[in-house]
């Protein structure tokens, strides 16, 4: 495990406190230029690793992105997944459940979207909304959301046992940084469409959300599905950190191209 990855991972029983993490951290990286060069190397390598994942067709990779509003989920997808082959990659965004989804258990809509063999899937928000927003807004009781930690761990264990590697990233920004990004959405005509009055209302629950995120991180980081806290005030560091973890994890999967199905030395074309 690299030094950077070791800084970011949430280990089981670590009793993480978000207040002790600086969302403005750059992980000791020596500036934007150094980060940009390393990011490009990671993106080049990621394209190769995705090809191996697709060709091998034995395992899948699930990448979960969570964060407060304006935390950078869309930006991470745009900047880190930019060189991936769409043939083997999907992005799934989880909005408010539909009427059909509400008629099933909360993991039903999630299970349908997990990656198949050879596939990489990125969740923009995820099943963790069901221990976050529903908790903050008291849509379910404490007894229910506390029980869901174990249910989620069992679900992720089952996916892992069936060949799905899981990486989970919490993009951690400060309240001041969120305000700055909201103001940019208001003043930049190209970003006006991203602003919602609901964003202003949700900001009132900042402390409640941080408590909910902290509990989810502590209860649901496991050896087979670890959480990584990414200081995300600096977008350039966020992108580098996420790419670093993904590349390192995929390298550890030791994927191989499948052997030819025929003796190629004997193939001749007329």
The model's confidence at residue 270, banded by pLDDT at 50, 70 and 90, is confident
Contacts 24+ apart (CB under 8 A), 97-103: none
Tokens coding 128: 């963790």
- Whether residue 155 is predicted with pLDDT greater than 80 in this model: the reply is yes
Give the pTM.
0.95
> For the domain that residue 167 is a member of, what is the CATH number?
3.40.50.300
pLDDT > 70: percent of the chain = 100
In a domain, 265, yes or no: no
The model's confidence at residue 260, banded by pLDDT at 50, 70 and 90, is confident
The tens digit of pLDDT for each residue in 9-63 reads 999 989 999 999 999 999 999 889 999 999 999 999 999 999 999 999 999 999 9
Across 230-265, b (16+ Cβ under 10 Å) vs e yields: bbbbbbbbbbbbbbbbbbbbbeeeebeeeeeeeeee
In a domain, 172, yes or no: yes
Compute, in degrees rounded to 10, the torsion defined by CA atoms 162, 99, 151, 94.
Answer: 60
- Whether residue 267 is predicted with pLDDT greater than 90 in this model: the reply is no
The tens digit of pLDDT for each residue in 61-76 reads 999 999 999 999 999 9
In a domain, 59, yes or no: yes
Query: So what's the pLDDT on residue 118?
Result: 98
Cα dist from 69 to 101, 198, 225, whole Å: 23, 10, 23
Cα dist from 113 to 14, 74, 108, 209, whole Å: 30, 18, 9, 25
Query: So what's the pLDDT on residue 268?
Result: 84
In a domain, 260, yes or no: no
The stretch 191-195 carries a mean pLDDT of 88
Domain that holds residue 137: 3-11+23-255
| 76 vs 196, higher pLDDT | 76
- Whether residue 1 is predicted with pLDDT greater than 80 in this model: the reply is no
Mean pLDDT of the chain: 95
Query: So what's the pLDDT on residue 3?
Result: 84
In a domain, 268, yes or no: no
In a domain, 18, yes or no: no
In a domain, 71, yes or no: yes
Closest CA to 126 of 235, 5, 225, 232: 225
Query: Total domain count for the chain?
Result: 1
In a domain, 185, yes or no: yes
The tens digit of pLDDT for each residue in 229-241 reads 999 999 999 999 9
- Whether residue 177 is predicted with pLDDT greater than 80 in this model: the reply is yes
Query: So what's the pLDDT on residue 23?
Result: 98
The tens digit of pLDDT for each residue in 113-125 reads 999 999 999 999 9
Closest CA to 96 of 120, 129, 60: 129
Compute, in degrees rounded to 10, the torsion defined by CA atoms 46, 48, 50, 51.
Answer: 170
- Whether residue 179 is predicted with pLDDT greater than 90 in this model: the reply is yes
Query: So what's the pLDDT on residue 122?
Result: 98
Query: So what's the pLDDT on residue 62?
Result: 98
Backbone phi, then psi, for 58, in 5-degree steps? -120, -25
């Amino acid at each position: 495990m690299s030094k950077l990855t070791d800084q970011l991972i949430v280990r089981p029983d670590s009793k993480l406190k978000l207040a002790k993490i600086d969302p403005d951290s750059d992980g000791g990286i020596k500036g934007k230029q150094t980060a940009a060069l390393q990011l490009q190397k990671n993106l080049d390598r990621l394209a190769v690793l995705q090809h191996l994942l697709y060709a091998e067709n034995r395992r899948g990779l699930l990448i979960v992105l969570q964060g407060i509003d304006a935390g950078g989920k869309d930006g991470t997808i745009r900047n880190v997944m930019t060189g991936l082959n769409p043939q083997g990659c999907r992005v799934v965004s989880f909005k408010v459940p539909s009427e059909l989804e509400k008629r099933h258990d909360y993991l039903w809509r999630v299970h349908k979207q997990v990656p198949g063999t050879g596939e990489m899937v990125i969740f923009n928000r995820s099943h963790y909304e069901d221990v976050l927003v529903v908790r903050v807004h008291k849509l379910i009781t404490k007894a229910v959301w506390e029980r869901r930690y174990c249910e989620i761990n069992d679900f992720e264990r089952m996916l892992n046992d069936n060949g799905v590697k899981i990486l989970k990233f919490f993009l951690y920004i400060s309240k001041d940084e969120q305000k700055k990004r909201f103001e940019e959405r208001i003043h930049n005509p190209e970003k006006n469409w991203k602003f919602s009055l609901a964003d202003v209302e949700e900001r009132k629950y900042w402390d409640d959300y941080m408590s909910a995120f902290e509990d989810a991180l502590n209860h649901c980081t496991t050896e087979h599905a670890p959480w990584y806290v990414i200081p995300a005030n600096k977008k350039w560091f966020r992108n580098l950190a996420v790419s670093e973890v993904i590349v390192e994890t995929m390298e550890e999967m030791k994927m191989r191209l499948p052997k030819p199905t025929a003796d190629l030395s004997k193939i001749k074309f007329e």
